Chains A and B, each alone.
Chain A
C-alpha cells in the first residue's frame, strides 16, 4: 500500500461492530445458550444434592474447594465431569461460527443493513468455502505443532539441566508468547482470506489464501498492529474482569458474578468481531485506494455478490 493510504481502521472497525451490534448479540446468545445446554445435565444432577442441604452453604458463603471435591468423590458422582458434553456443544458453536462468518463478513465488507434472508444467503453461500479454508488451516497448524514440540523439547532439556526452575519458566513464557503471536499471524492470514472470499466472491480458496498472503506480506505491520492492539484490549479487559471476579466480588454476589463473566465474554466476542470488521474495512479502503494499481486480481465471480441491492 502506498504510504499515503493509511485507513483509520482501528476506530472505524469498532464503529462497524457498534453499528451492526445485532451480530454481537446473536453470537453471544448462541454461545450462552449452547453453554447452558452443555452443563444442563450436570446442574440437574447436582441440584437435588445441594438445594435442600445446609452443607451447600460451604459453597455459598465462600468457595470451599473440599465441598466441590466431596461432591466429586461421592459414589453416585453428582459432579461427574461434563467434559465430553461441553466439547460436543463447543464443536456445534464452532460450526455455527463457520456458517455465520459469511454473513458477518458480508455485513462488514459492504457495511449495509442486510435482510435476514440476505444474511443467511451469504452464510450458506460461503459455508463450504470456509470449510475448505479450515482444511488449509489444519495444514498450516502442522508447522506450528512441530514448533510447539521443539519448544517443549527445549524446555524439558533446560528444565532438566538447570539448577533453578526459572530458566525453563522464562523459556516457556517466551516461547508461548512467540507461538501465540504466530497463531495470531496465522489467524490474521486466514481471516484476510475469508474477507477476500466474501468481498470478491472468490471461489478458489487457495487463490484467496495466496492473495491474503500477498497483502499481509506488503502490509504486515499495519495489519498485525491492528490485530494486536485489539487483542491487548481484550486480554486486559478479561484479566481485569477475572481479577474483579476472584478478588473483589463478595462470594454472595452470585448474580453480579454472572453478569460480570458474561460482560467479559461479550467484550471478548466484540473484540473478535472488531478484528474482523477492522480487517474488512481495511480491505475495502485498500481496494479503493489502489484501484489503478492492483496487487491482487480476483477470479471472475461466478455468482452475484449478495447484498448487491443494499450496496447500490
Chain B
C-alpha cells in the first residue's frame, strides 16, 4: 500500500520534471562531437582515432512501407600497407530471412529472446539490396558484386558481398564507393526494425569489412555475434515525416522542413565506427547534462509512452555510470550520449549499444527495488568503452567487449547500488549483479572456452553464460590474485593503450600481467583458454579425543582434555587455484592455512584443548569461479534456519495450490 503510493508520487514528480523539455538542443554547426581527452596522447583538435572510413549517407524513411531508400558514399583510405583490390561489405539486414545463417542458428538453439521453436513470421522479414555500386574512376561495378559466405558456406546467406575492383588501390591511397540501396525493415528483431510507428535503425547500410591480422575480417551475421568495423566519420542526412522525433549517434547539424511534409535532419559523427538512429512521433525527450574530466556531456533520453516512470532511473544510472567510468577507467571523450527507450512491444530493440547511442528497456510495472532499467543503462553505456572506443572484434572476441563490460558492470553497479543489492533490492529479497553473473557461468561452466568465436558455442545459453558470466567471474576471481585496485589499474591502462584501436585477447591479458607484474599464464590457461571447473569442498572436519582409548574424563576435568582435529580439503574440479582455509575452534581461537591446491586433497591436523567449530575455504568468498559456495565450509553445529525458511515458503505455496484445486473442484 505504501509502496504503491510512493510509486504514484514518484511518477508525478517525474512528469513535472519531464514537462516542457526541448526536443533537441540547439545544433551547433561545425562543433565536433568528439574531443581530445586530457589523458590522450592526441593533441587537442586532432582526430582521436585513425580514420579509415568516411561515410556520407542520404536516407529517406518510408513509414508506410517501413523501408529506407538511400545513397551512400564511402571513402576508404587504404592503410593496410599493401595494395587492395577486393573489398568485402556487410549487408546485415539480409539476415532477416528464413534461410539465412542467423535464422538457421536461431532455429537450432534460439538467441536473444527468440526461441528455437519460434515459427517464421513474415513481418520479421528484412532485406537490403544494393541496386547500384559505382567506384570512382572504375565506373559501375554492380555486376561485379558477389555474395560470399566465409564462415559456413551457406549459399542462402547474403549478409556479406565482395566486389573486386578493376585495379588495386595503392597503400595510402583512397577509394570512393557510391552505392544506392534499399532497406526493407523487419518488425523489430535482433536490435533493429519497426514496431508500429517506432523505428530503431541499426546495421542498416552497406558497411565495409576490417583489414585485421593481415586479412579482411568480414564475417556473416550470426545469431550470437555482434559487430566489428573501422573508425571514421559519418555524415548522415535522414528524411522523415515532420511529426517524427529523431535520435541518432551523432550531433544534429541541421534540420530543415521540406514542402512535402517531411523534414531532413543532418547528423555528423566522428571517431566512431557505426551510426544508428531512431524515430518515433511518440517520444518524450528528457534532457540533462553531466560534466566529467573531458568536459560536459549532454544526456538525451528518448522515452516511449507508458515508461516515463523509468526516465529518472535511466538518468540517475547514466550519471552514476559516467562518473564511475570517469574516475576508474578514463574520460568519456564525446559530448553527448543518447538513451533510447524502445516502444512497448519492441523489447528486442533494447539492450543494445551503438557509438554514443544506447538502447535501454523497461516496463510499466517495475518496482524501484528491481534495478533492471539501471542495469541495462549501466551495461550499455559501458560498451561506449568496451566496443565503442576499445573496438575489439565482437565476432571473434566477444568476451573482450561483453565479458569485460560485464565485469565492470558488476563493479560499478556494486559501487552505485550496494554490494549485495546491485540488481534486486527489495525488503524481502536481494541479489547482487556479480552473483547473478556467476550464476550464469555456473549453469554452463565447462562447455566452451571464453575465447571461442561467438557463433561457435555449443548453444546460445553457453554463449551468454561463458561470454558474459564466466568472463566477469574470471576477472572478479583474478582480483583475489592481483588485488582489486590492480585490476582496476589494469583496465585503466588497457583503455588508455587501446582506445580507438582494435586490440586482441592477448593484448588484454598482457596488459594485466604488465600492470600486476605477475606471470598469470597458469591462471589464464585454465580460466580463459580452458574449460576447467573450479570447485573445492571441505571433505571432513571433526575432532576426536587424543586419548580416545581411555574412559571419558569427568566434566570437571574436561578443560585439560586434548582433542585431535582433522580438516580435509578436497579439490573436486580440475582447476588448480591456491586457497586459504580458516579453521575456527570452540574456544574462539582460529587458524588460517594456505594451500596451493596442486594435489587432490590436503589434510590438516591440530592438537588443541578445543574441538573444531568450523572450517571454511576462501572465507571471504572471493574465488567467484568456485562453482559451489555451499560446500566450501563445514560448521559442526548445524543451523537449520535456512532450511526452515525455504520449507516455510514451499509449504505455503503447496497449501495454496491445494486450496486452488479444492476451490475449482
Inter-chain contacts of B616 with A (CB < 8 A): 54
Q: Which residue of B lies closest to A44 (CB)?
A: B643
B642 to chain A minimum Cβ distance, whole angstroms, is 4
* B663: A residues at CB distance < 8 A: 187, 272
Q: A134 vs B662: C-alpha distance in the bound complex, in angstroms? A: 11
In chain A, positions 33-49 with a C-beta closer than 8 Å to chain B are: 34-36, 38-39, 42-43, 46-47, 49
User: Which residues of B (468-488) have their CB < 8 Å from a CB of A?
Assistant: none
A269 touches which one: B432, B439, B659, B660 (CB < 8 A)? B659
| Contacting residue for A265 out of B305, B363, B432, B655, CB 8 A | B655
Contact, CB under 8 Å: B645 / A53: no
Please state if B648 and A52 are interface contacts (CB–CB under 8 Å).
Answer: no
Indicate if the CB atoms of B364 and A166 lie closer than 8 Å: yes
Q: Does A163 contact B282, Cβ atoms closer than 8 Å?
A: yes
Contact (Cβ within 8 A) B439 A70: yes
Q: Does A56 lie at the interface of the complex (its beta carbon under 8 Å from any beta carbon of B)?
A: yes
Bound complex: CA A126 to CA B665 (Å): 15
B-chain residues with CB within 8 Å of residue A56 when the two chains form the complex: 630, 639, 641-643
Q: For A35, give its contact among B304, B641, B654 (CB under 8 Å).
A: B654
Count of interface residues, chain B, beta-carbon cutoff 8 Å: 70
Interface string of A148-177 (1 = CB under 8 A from B): 000000000001111111100100000000
Say yes or no: is B120 at the interface (Cβ < 8 Å to chain A): no
Enumerate B177-229 residues with CB–CB distance to A below 8 Å.
196-198
Q: How far is the CA of A161 from the CA of B646 in the complex (A)?
A: 42
A39 close to B647 (CB less than 8 A): yes
A32 engages B651 (CB within 8 Å): yes
Q: Is the CB of B645 within 8 A of A63?
A: yes
Say how far A38's CB is from chain B's closest CB, in angstroms: 5
- Nearest-neighbour CB distance to chain B for A270, whole angstroms, equals 12
The proximity string for B residues 33-71 relative to A, scoring 1 for CB distances below 8 Å and 0 otherwise, is 000000000000000000000000000000000000000
Which of B87-95, B167-175, B421-429 is found at the contact surface with chain A? B421-429
- Cross-chain contact A82 with B282 (CB below 8 angstroms): no
B629 A31 Cβ-Cβ under 8 A: no
Contact B659 A55 (CB under 8 A): no
Answer whether residue B628 sits at the interface, using C-beta atoms and an 8 A cutoff: yes
With a CB–CB cut-off of 8 A, which chain A residues contact B635?
Answer: 52-54
Asked if A65 is an interface residue, CB under 8 A from chain B, the answer is yes
Q: A98 within 8 Å of B by Cβ?
A: yes
Given contacts A73-B439, A163-B344, A261-B652, whether A66 and B196 have CB atoms under 8 Å apart is no
The CA of A83 and the CA of B658, in the complex, are separated in Å by 12
> What distance in Å separates the Cβ of B354 from its nearest Cβ neighbour in chain A?
23
A residues in contact with B137, CB < 8 Å? none
Question: Looking across the interface, which residue of chain A has its beta carbon closest to that of B343?
Answer: A163
Does B261 count as interface, using CB distance less than 8 angstroms?
no
Nearest A residue to B444, CB-CB:
A73
Q: Answer whether residue A71 sits at the interface, using C-beta atoms and an 8 A cutoff.
A: yes
Interface flag for A258 (CB, 8 Å): yes
B-contacting 9-mer, from A88-96, A203-211, A282-290, A297-305 = A88-96
**B438 on the interface (CB 8 Å rule)?**
yes
Within 8 Å of chain A (Cβ to Cβ): is B633? yes
Q: Mark A73-117, 1 if CB is under 8 A from B, else 0.
A: 110000000100011011101100110000000000000000000
Scoring B residues 431 to 443 as 1 if CB is less than 8 Å from chain A, else 0, what string do you get?
1100110110011
Question: Is B638 in contact with chain A by the CB < 8 A criterion?
Answer: yes
Tell me the bound Cα distance from A54 to B541 in angstroms.
Answer: 14
Interfacial chain B residues near A55, Cβ < 8 Å: 621, 629-630, 632-633
Given contacts A51-B640, A53-B630, contact A86 B645 (CB under 8 A): no
Q: Does A4 contact B (CB under 8 A)?
A: no
Of the candidates A71, A161, A164, A251, the one having the most CB atoms from chain B within 10 angstroms of its own CB is A164
Residues of chain B lying within 8 A (CB to CB) of residue A65:
424, 429-431
Residue numbers in B under 8 Å from A36 (CB-CB): 651
- A52-B636, A94-B665 known; A164+B306 contact, CB < 8 A: yes
Q: Is the CB of B435 within 8 A of A247?
A: no
Contacting pair B633 A54 (CB below 8 A): yes
Q: Is A57 interfacial (CB-CB < 8 Å)?
A: yes
Query: Which residues from chain A contact B639 at a C-beta distance below 8 Å?
Result: 51, 56-57, 60
Say yes or no: A97 contacts B645, CB within 8 Å: no
B662 adjacent to A60 (CB under 8 Å):
no
Least CB distance from A5 to B in Å reads 29
Given A54-B635, A66-B431, A97-B665: A257 and B657 within 8 A (CB)? no
State which size class the interface on A falls in: 35 or more
Closest to A183 in B: B664
Which chain B positions have C-beta within 8 A of A52? Answer: 633-636, 638
B578 surroundings in chain A (CB, below 8 A): none
* B651 close to A49 (CB less than 8 A): no
* CB neighbours of A128 from chain B (8 A): none
Closest A residue to B443 by CB, please name it: A73
Q: Find the B residue at minimum CB distance from A265.
A: B655
Among residues 291 to 335 in chain B, which have CB atoms less than 8 Å away from a CB atom of chain A? Answer: 304-306
Distance in Å from the Cβ of A205 to the closest Cβ of chain B?
A: 14
Q: Is the CB of B641 within 8 A of A254?
A: yes
Q: Does A137 contact B (CB under 8 A)?
A: yes
- B633's nearest neighbour on chain A, judged by CB, is A54
Residue B420 interfacial (CB < 8 Å)? yes
A252-268 vs B, Cβ < 8 Å mask (1 yes, 0 no): 10100110010001001
Chain A CB within 8 A of B631 CB: yes
Interface of chain A: mostly helix, strand, loop or mixed: helix
Complexed CA–CA distance, A36 and B638 (Å): 22
Q: Please tell me if B16 contacts chain A, counting CB pairs below 8 Å.
A: no
Task: Tell whether A91 pairs with B661 under 8 Å between CB atoms, given A159-B345, A165-B344, A243-B1.
Answer: yes
Q: How far is the CB of B118 from chain A (nearest CB, A)?
A: 16
Determine if A39 and B640 form an interchain contact, defined as CB atoms under 8 angstroms apart. Answer: no
Measured in the bound complex, the distance between the Cα atoms of B658 and A159 in whole Å is: 33
Partner of A73, one of B304, B442, B642: B442
A64 lies within 8 A of B420 (CB): yes
* B428 near A246: Cβ-Cβ < 8 Å: yes
Interface string of B347-380 (1 = CB under 8 A from A): 0000000000000000111000000000000000
Interface flag for A179 (CB, 8 Å): no
A142 within 8 A of B: no
Pair B642/A57 contact, Cβ less than 8 Å: yes
Set A39, A98, A160: member contacting B651, Cβ < 8 A = A39
Contact A90 B197 (CB under 8 A): no
A258→B650 CA distance, assembly (Å): 11
* Interface: B614 (CB within 8 A): yes
Tell yes or no: B556 within 8 A of A by CB: no
Task: Give the complex CA separation of A134 and B663 in angstroms.
Answer: 11
The yes or no answer to B108 lying at the interface (CB within 8 A) is no
Looking at the assembled complex, report how far the CB atom of A168 sits from the nearest CB atom of chain B, in whole angstroms: 8
List chain B residues, Cβ under 8 A from A23: none
CB pair A94 B661 closer than 8 Å:
yes
Min distance, Cβ B199 to any Cβ of chain A, angstroms: 13
Given contact pairs A54-B633, A63-B429, A97-B665, A164 touches B305 in the complex (Cβ within 8 A):
yes
- What residues of A have a CB within 8 angstroms of the CB of B636 in the complex? 52
Complex: A262 Cα to B665 Cα, angstroms: 23
Q: Does A213 contact B (CB under 8 A)?
A: no
Chain B residues lying within 8 Å of A64, measured Cβ to Cβ, are: 420, 429-432, 435
By the criterion CB–CB under 8 Å, are B435 and A66 in contact?
yes
Q: Across the interface, which residues of B come within 8 angstroms of A164, CB to CB?
A: 304-306, 344, 364
B619, closest chain A residue (CB) = A54
A residues within 8 Å of B by Cβ? 31-32, 34-36, 38-39, 42-43, 46-47, 49-57, 59-60, 62-66, 68-71, 73-74, 82, 86-87, 89-91, 93-94, 97-98, 134, 137, 141, 159-166, 169, 187, 243, 245-247, 251-252, 254, 257-258, 261, 265, 268-269, 272
| In the complex, the 3 A-B pairs of residues with the closest C-beta atoms, listed nearest first | A164-B306, A66-B435, A56-B642
Identify 7 residue pairs between A and B in the complex whose beta-carbon atoms are under 8 Å apart, listed by A's number.
A46-B646, A52-B633, A56-B641, A63-B645, A70-B439, A94-B665, A261-B648
Given contacts A55-B630, A66-B432, A163-B196, 10 further A-B contacts (CB under 8 A): A39-B647, A47-B640, A47-B643, A50-B646, A53-B634, A64-B432, A159-B345, A164-B304, A165-B306, A261-B651
